[in-house]
Amino acid sequence: MNTESENLVNLDQWKNHKRDGARDASFSDYLKVLSFNDLMTESTELMNQIKKSDEGSDLFSKTRVMMNEFTHRLEVESKHLADSVKDFKKQIEDKLH
């Protein structure tokens, strides 16, 4: 059987991706029910965790989900603010990759 290796999926990577996706979805659902003040408090706590931790992958995943929630909420209030958050998010993601 002749298969190209680029078409194969590493089972461990797939499991991690599925687990991370489920965790991001539940965190996203949690953020959606918070008041804006509680969302700000949650973001402050996340920033403090990022500053203290050397382990970044899970925290940066949470940060991405949180930034999406801020962007979504701001789009309702102000397109200009939402665009600023999107630009900030892109700058962060560019530095991480």
Burial string for 46-83 (b: 16+ CB within 10 Å, else e) reads beeeeeeeeeeeebeebbebbbbbbbebbeeeeeeebe
pLDDT at 7 over 70: no
| Confidence (pLDDT) at 20 | 60
Look up the pTM and report it.
0.57
Q: How far apart are CA 7 and CA 97, in angstroms?
A: 23
- Provide the token pair at 33: 């029910």
Q: What is the mean pLDDT of residues 67-82?
A: 84
| Confidence (pLDDT) at 25 | 83
Q: Which tens digits make up the pLDDT trace of 13-37?
A: 555 555 666 677 888 888 899 898 9
Sequence ranges of the domains in the chain: 10-96
| Confidence (pLDDT) at 1 | 46
| Confidence (pLDDT) at 84 | 82
